[in-house]
Amino acid sequence: MAKIASSFLDISYLDSLSCQQSPVHRLDPRSKVIATAFFIVSVVSFGKYEITGLIPFFLYPIVLIALGDLPLVYLLKKILLAAPFAVFIGMFNPLIDRAILMNLGPVGISGGWISFASIMLRFILTVSAVLALIASTGFASICMSLEKMGAPNSFAVQLLFLYRYIFVLTDEASRMVRARALRAFEGKGRGFKVFTSMIGQLLLRALDRAQRIHLAMRCRGFDGEIRVSRQLAFGGRDSAFLLGWSTLFVLMRLVDIPQWMGDRVAELIR
Amino acid sequence: MSHHIVEMKDLHYTYPDGNSALHGVSFRITHGETVAIVGANGAGKSTILLHLNGCLIPETGTVRIGDFPLTRKTLEHVRRTVGMVFQDPDDQLFMPSVYEDVAYGPLNLGLPLEDVEERVVQALSTVGMLHLKDRPPYRLSGGEKRSVAIATVLSMSPSILVMDEPTSNLDPKARRQLIHLLKTFEHTIILATHDLDMVLDLCSRTIVLKKGRVEADGPTRDILQNQELLETCRLEKPFSLQACPICNPA
């Protein structure tokens, strides 16, 4: 359980990163959200055997992490944590797609392996970009900017509440698990039956709390809409950030830069 | 000023699960009074508080807040007049930052942004928490959370403050600070609590509940000296009224 509790501590660490001051942090969240969305669409839209074309895209997360003064090792660990999902998505490709597409000396590399590598690259790119976005912006600001850009209010509010109460819920869960651990001996009292009743208990507590929160909201005039006073200012720097990156993404999507560079180098050698 | 009057007349309430909580509660609290509602667990304290700002609507009997009887129609007005501080600040602080949480009520009242800001700054300075305004509420200490929860209500400038167990889970220093803070308020204050020492410090009047009925209602000093009454209501003399065990061992 200590593990669960500490991984949630990690989330709040991610949150505290967003309170730093840096050129990236000072940007309007909207420009970062749109640029990142642009980035993800460009990365995902490549063909399934693409590898070289993806490499230049590493520029974006690297620049965000460097300028935003974000801890690289921590973010890498977070990426690793999500890696199994991507591995499971791609793991059958090498088994199914056995056509040899490329020869590296005597070793033939099948299309499956190439598409697997491509999936992993895209995974690393997109997840690192989103993590850098959250770490440099903060979850709440992202929700606000979504709302300002026209996402349904209820959607943004759901996300906000999810994030707000995940801390309370883990707190409650870890207290229950601790209470169980203190009275469970030699493996007794840790069985599935106890677990299910704990989950049920947690659900009931969450429902109770939801009801109390709703009451507290009603007492302060809640009428179905959350009003937010946070003012966002979209300035010249934000437009420059957004325009610059999205042009670069389009360019990198249309031109295979490593290929192009390789050709130039080959020409020079010749 | 009649709009600060809180009046309950013959209030009955039975929870949907059949658990009957109140059997004819009546009292009248006038402007500027600080009143404690005390009683054993399950005596009906929380149920009364929930009626005071319309979280529960009276079934039998009436609740009057100022000039208005509490009904579904007057709910909005009542909620503007009565500020409720919940027992668990985590229930009350749901916005991503302290500032936004305190601004939540005023924004819902439809105030212009400048007024909202002024109120937020005012409310946070009153409880001494202005320096925390950009922090997320879940990263505050228990005492800070409590103060901010009070600020979220103050920012709506209610004339009546209702608090459920304001000193629970606070360390002695934070508790003392809260008591000092509450002493400075000119609102009508209604507290439900088990902290009888605080009651003695803060409240001029005490209402004792027993099994859903008002058992006693009078000046705090008289009630908290009445050993017999306290014992039948599962209460105990506050420590500050008990003899010192070191100076006068029994």
B55/A227 Cβ within 8 A: no
pLDDT reported for residue A192: 80
Interval B79-100 mean pLDDT: 88
| A window 231-270, beta carbon within 8 A of B | none
Q: Are B166 and B191 in contact (CB under 8 A)?
A: yes
Portion of chain A with pLDDT greater than 90, in percent: 24
Taking all residues of chain A, what is their mean pLDDT, rounded to a whole number? 85
Q: Span B71-86, mean pLDDT?
A: 88
Residue A123 has pLDDT above 90, yes or no: yes
Least confident window among A28-37, A115-124, A158-167: A158-167
CB–CB of B80/B21 below 8 Å? no
Any domain includes B115? no
| Domain contains B123 | no
B224, B68, B81, B236: which is closest to B156 by C-alpha? Answer: B81
Q: Which residues pair with B29 in a beta bridge?
A: B6
Q: Domain locations in chain A? A: 19-137+235-269
Cα dihedral value A86, A14, A145, B92, nearest 10: 120
| Residue A9 Cα, gap to closest chain B Cα (Å) | 11
Q: Which residues of B touch A167 (CB under 8 A)?
A: 138
Indicate whether B79 pLDDT > 60.
yes
Q: How far, in Å, are B57, B58, B69 from residue B15 at the CA level? A: 12, 11, 21
Tell me if residue B15 falls in helix, strand or coil. coil
For residue A229, give the nearest of B113, B138, B156 by CB distance.
Answer: B113
pLDDT at A198: 86
Residue in B88, B95, B108 closest to A221 by CB? B108
Nearest-CA residue of chain A relative to B97? Answer: A140
Contacts of B104 in chain A (CB under 8 A): 220, 226-227
Of A2 and B127, the structure prediction assigns the larger pLDDT to B127
Cβ of B91 and A212 within 8 Å? yes
B1 burial (CB, 10 Å; 0-12 / 13-18 / 19+) is exposed
Tokens of A22: 């840096």
* Shortest CA distance from B54: residue in chain A: A219
Query: What does the pLDDT average to over B106-115?
Result: 88
Strand, coil or helix: B82:
strand
Least confident of A60-74, A120-134, A178-192: A178-192
Instruction: Give the percent of chain B with pLDDT over 70.
Output: 98
Would you state the pLDDT for residue A173?
A: 86
> Is residue A255 over pLDDT 50?
yes
Residue from the list A209, A215, A220 with its beta carbon closest to the beta carbon of B105: A220
In the prediction, which pLDDT does A13 show? Answer: 81
Question: Considering only CB atoms, which chain B residues are within 8 Å of A213?
Answer: 91-92, 94
Say if residue B34's pLDDT is above 90. Answer: yes
- The alpha carbon of residue B73 and the mean position of all alpha carbons in its chain are separated, in whole angstroms, by 23
Judged by average pLDDT, the poorest of A5-9, A106-110, A225-229, B29-33 is A5-9
Type of residue found at B152 = T
Count the residues in chain B: 250
Name the residue range of residue B8's domain. Answer: 2-90+158-241
Residue A2 at interface with chain B, using a CB cutoff of 8 Å: no
Question: At residue A7, does pLDDT exceed 80?
Answer: no
Q: Is B75 left (phi over 0), alpha (psi -120 to 50) or beta?
A: alpha
Is A220 within 8 Å of B156 when comparing Cβ atoms? yes
Q: Do B108 and A223 touch (CB under 8 A)?
A: yes
Partner residue opposite A216 with nearest CB, options B92, B97, B107: B92
Q: Which residues of chain B have a Cβ shorter than 8 Å from any chain A Cβ? A: 50, 53, 55, 76, 79-80, 83-84, 86, 88, 90-92, 94-97, 99-100, 103-105, 107-109, 113, 116-117, 134, 136-139, 152-153, 156
Kindly state whether residue B51 falls inside one of the protein's structural domains.
Answer: yes
pLDDT at B193: 94
**Domain membership flag for residue B36:** yes
What mean pLDDT comes out for the span B73-83?
87
What mean pLDDT value characterizes chain B? 89
Under 8 Å between Cβ of A74 and A62: no
Residue given tokens 């192009």 in the structure block? A260
- SS3 (DSSP) at A109: strand
Q: How confident is the model at residue A129 (pLDDT cuts 50, 70, 90)?
A: very high
pLDDT at residue B220 is higher than 90? yes
Give per-residue pLDDT as tens, A223-240. 877 776 667 788 889 999
Q: What is the distance between the alpha carbons of residues B197 and B240, in angstroms, rounded to a whole number?
A: 7
pLDDT score of B215 more than 80: yes
Domain count along chain B? 1
With cut-offs at 50, 70 and 90, classify the pLDDT of residue A261: confident
Of B111, B119, B174, B175, the C-alpha closest to B152 is: B119
Asked if pLDDT for residue A1 goes beyond 50, the answer is no
Burial environment of residue B248 by CB neighbours within 10 A (0 to 12, 13 to 18, 19 or more)? exposed
Residues in chain A: 270
Q: Among A61-65, B76-80, B145-149, B205-209, which stretch is predicted with the lowest mean pLDDT? A: B76-80
Q: What is the pLDDT of residue A234?
A: 85
Question: What would the mean pLDDT of B39-47 be, rounded to a whole number?
Answer: 91
Q: Is there a contact between B11 and B62 (Cβ–Cβ < 8 Å)?
A: yes
Distance CA B55, CA B80 (A): 13
Question: What is the average per-residue pLDDT within B68-80?
Answer: 87
In this model, does residue B138 exceed pLDDT 50? yes
Identify the three-state secondary structure at position A220. coil
pLDDT band at B66 (very low <50, low <70, confident <90, very high): confident
Would you say residue B142 lies in a domain?
Answer: no
The answer to whether the CB atoms of B117 and A229 lie below 8 A apart is yes
Q: d(Cα B189, Cα B4) in Å, to the nearest integer?
A: 10
Contact B96 A12 (CB under 8 A): no
Query: Does residue A132 register a pLDDT over 90?
Result: yes
- What does the pLDDT read at residue A6? 63
CB-CB under 8 Å, B138 with A164:
yes
pLDDT digits (tens, 9 = 90+) for B183-193: 999 889 999 99
Judged by average pLDDT, the poorest of A8-12, A160-164, A252-256, B32-36 is A8-12
Which of B138, B148, B162 would you mutate first to test chain A, the one with the most A CBs within 10 A? B138
Instruction: Name the pLDDT band for A8 (thresholds 50, 70, 90).
Output: low
Q: How many CA atoms lie within 13 A of B169 on its CB side?
A: 14
Evaluate if residue B144 carries a pLDDT over 80.
yes
Q: How many CB pairs under 8 A join A and B?
A: 78
Q: How far apart are CA B65 and CA B77, in angstroms?
A: 9
The confidence score (pLDDT) of residue A4 equals 57
- Which tokens sit at B209? 């509940």
CATH number for the domain that contains residue B63: 3.40.50.300
Cβ contacts of A175 on chain B, cutoff 8 Å: none
Asked if B209 and B55 touch (Cβ cutoff 8 Å), the reply is no
Asked if pLDDT for residue B73 goes beyond 90, the answer is no
**Å between B107 CA and nearest CA of chain A:** 6
For residue B128, what is the DSSP state? Answer: T
Give percent above pLDDT 70 in chain A: 94
DSSP reduced 3-state for B7 = strand
Strand partners of residue B14: B20
Option in A12, A160, A215 nearest B96 (CB):
A160
